[in-house]
Every structure is written in structure tokens, then in C-alpha cells.
Amino acid sequence: MDLGLKGKIIVVTGGAKGIGAAIARHLAAEGACPVIVDREEQASWELVEELREAGVAAGAYIGELSEPTNCREAVYYTSREYGRIDGLVNNAGINDGIGLEYGSPEEFMTSIRNNLLHYYCMAHYALPALRETQGSIVNISSKCAITGQGHTSAYAAAKGGQLALTREWAVELLKYGIRVNAIIPAEVSTPMYEAWINTFEHPEEKLHRINAKIPLGNRMTTAEEIANMVLFLLSERASHITGQHMYIDGGYVHLDRAIDAIANSINGTYGSLRLK
Ligand code: NAP
């Protein structure tokens, strides 16, 4: 399926690593030009070099997104350098564990700034350019917003805010033909995830227990599987989809966990009983 993304200029925040990097690579593979906005200078330029060496256009703007002026500059840079913006992927974020018991109002607000404010700022500053192209916005949220996680109030609030803004912007931007959707990942192996899993005393064991609870295949979602949906939503192929929250999680949030043992042991006793 041709997604029609060739030549499109797509801004990807947090595009240097993890899910954002997978999105940037997939965009490049479709002939689009990803513009990475990230605070990780080395990782950003390494990825840009990798893509350019493969013969595709790519760019980067290095900056800390919690500072609104950096969001504005990132958008201005992209418009100046490439002449247009066809899509915005708000993706940068960090699960920083600012909880109710272990946290403070100041830390809560800092985390909101790190995780939510720049989603607004990027969309705000990119809007004039997106109006011209009838571009599209994809917000990367988290299952945390739906299920909670414990000990991470600010991140959960930010992720919930992103889902609310997705609906709100979808309504506000109807008149411009700008579509806005959100993706809700659950467990995706990325540098951030690895850092989190390594905070446990027995990370391997913890990972094994998490995988066992993921209904489809007892495995984590790959960053590429998230990227596939992002590209589809950015493309004209999703021309009548807006205001949606898409779960890309192997059934983690919605499927009955009790069925897990049955569904995933089709060669075992439970499975054969069920298949008969
Ligand atoms: P990641 O591996 O840490 O990559 C994110 C990139 O964004 C990193 O380069 C990071 O830099 C950068 N970044 C983060 N905050 C930034 C800021 N304020 N300004 C500039 N750059 C910033 O993270 P990921 O796991 O790919 O997560 C991407 C998105 O998916 C996040 O919104 C996350 O909440 C969401 N998500 C992930 C999972 C998962 O299982 N991985 C699950 C649900 C939702 P640093 O390395 O310096 O932080």
C-alpha cells in the first residue's frame, strides 16, 4: 500500500531514540523527511546521518522541549529549512515516577512541563504551517492514562491530558481539515523502558512476568509496530479518522487476562480442550 508520504515533512519529537527513532526510520523508508526534535544531540545526528547515508532527507533540531521557546524555534527551523510541515508527531516523554506519596507539587509541575506542555506548544506553533498543508497530528500517549500504574501521578496526568487534547484539537481543527489522533502503547522495548526495568532487583524476572500478561504472543510491542500505525494515521489512507485513541498493545489493556493461559497454550491441555 502506498501511503503517499513521499516528500512529506514530518516533525517527530523525541525522534532520536526508541519509538520516535522507529517512526523517523519508517518515515524515511516511505520517502518522507523526518525532522527530529530531541535534546539528545549525538543520538539525533547519528540517526540523521544514518538516514542521509541511505539516501533520504532528514533533519534535526536539538533542544529541551520543556522550554516553550525551543518548541517555537524547532517549528521555525523546520519551516525555514524545508518550507512546509505536513505532520507533527508529539512523542517525547519520560515516565519520571513523581507519585502522590513520593513527590511534591513542584516536582509534579516540572513533570507536567516535561511531558504535557510541549505537546501543546508544538501543536500551537506548528498550526499555521499545518493549516497550509492540511497536515495531521499524532500524539503518543500511554496506557498509564487508562489503567494507572502507581507512583507516577504526574506522568499519568500528562498522558491523560494528551488523550483529552487529542479529542479537543480534533474538534477545534475540523474546520481546517487537520486530523488529530492518539496512540496508546503499553509495553515497548526502548531505552526508556530498559532504564525502568533495570530499577527492579530482578529485571529479567520482572520482564518475564510482564510478557506473560500480554495476550497476543506473550511479548512486548515493538517500536516498529507503533511506527506502522503512526505512519498510517499521518497518511491520506487515514483520511476519515480523527479524534481517535488507538491501542497498539497486543490486547494488553482490553482483553480478558484470565483467558491468557488458554489463548496462549493452543498446544497444551487447555488449548486442545478449547479447540474441540
Ligand atoms: P525513549 O526511549 O526515552 O526516547 C525518547 C526520546 O525523547 C529520548 O531521546 C529522550 O531524551 C527524548 N526526550 C524526552 N523528553 C524530552 C524533552 N523534554 N525534550 C527533548 N527531548 C526529550 O522513550 P520511548 O520509550 O521511546 O517513549 C516515547 C513515547 O512513548 C513517550 O511519550 C512515552 O511516554 C510513550 N510510551 C512508551 C512506552 C514504552 O513502553 N516504551 C509505553 C507507553 C508510552 P532522553 O534520553 O534524554 O530522555
Beta bridge partners of 35: 11, 59
Does residue 261 carry a pLDDT above 80? Answer: no
What pLDDT was estimated at residue 138? Answer: 99
> What confidence tier does 263 reach under pLDDT thresholds 50, 70, 90?
low
> Which cell numbers hold the place of 75?
517549528
pLDDT (tens digit, 9 = 90+) per residue, 25-55?
999 999 999 999 999 999 999 999 999 999 9
In whole angstroms, give the CA distance from residue 157 to residue 161.
6
pLDDT tens for 161-200 read: 999 999 999 999 999 999 999 999 999 999 999 999 999 9
155 classed as catalytic? yes
| Average of per-residue pLDDT values in the chain | 94
Q: Is the pLDDT of residue 245 over 90?
A: yes
CATH code for the structural domain at 9-189+216-251? 3.40.50.720
Alpha helices in 85-222 (DSSP H): 105-112, 118-133, 144-147, 153-172, 191-197, 203-212
Q: CA 243, CA 175: separation in Å to the nearest integer?
A: 14
Does residue 133 carry a pLDDT above 60? Answer: yes
In the predicted structure, residue 143 carries a pLDDT above the cut 50:
yes
Mean pLDDT across the stretch 3-31? 98
- Judge residue 101's burial from the number of C-beta atoms within 10 Å of its C-beta, 0-12 exposed, 13-18 middle, 19 or more buried: exposed
CA-nearest residue, atom 39 of ligand 1: 188
| pLDDT recorded at residue 174 | 98
Q: Which residues line ligand 1 (CB under 6 A)?
A: 14, 16-20, 38-40, 43, 64-66, 91-94, 114, 140, 142, 185, 187-188, 190-193
What is the tens place of the pLDDT at every residue in 149-159? 999 999 999 99
pLDDT beyond 80 at 99:
yes
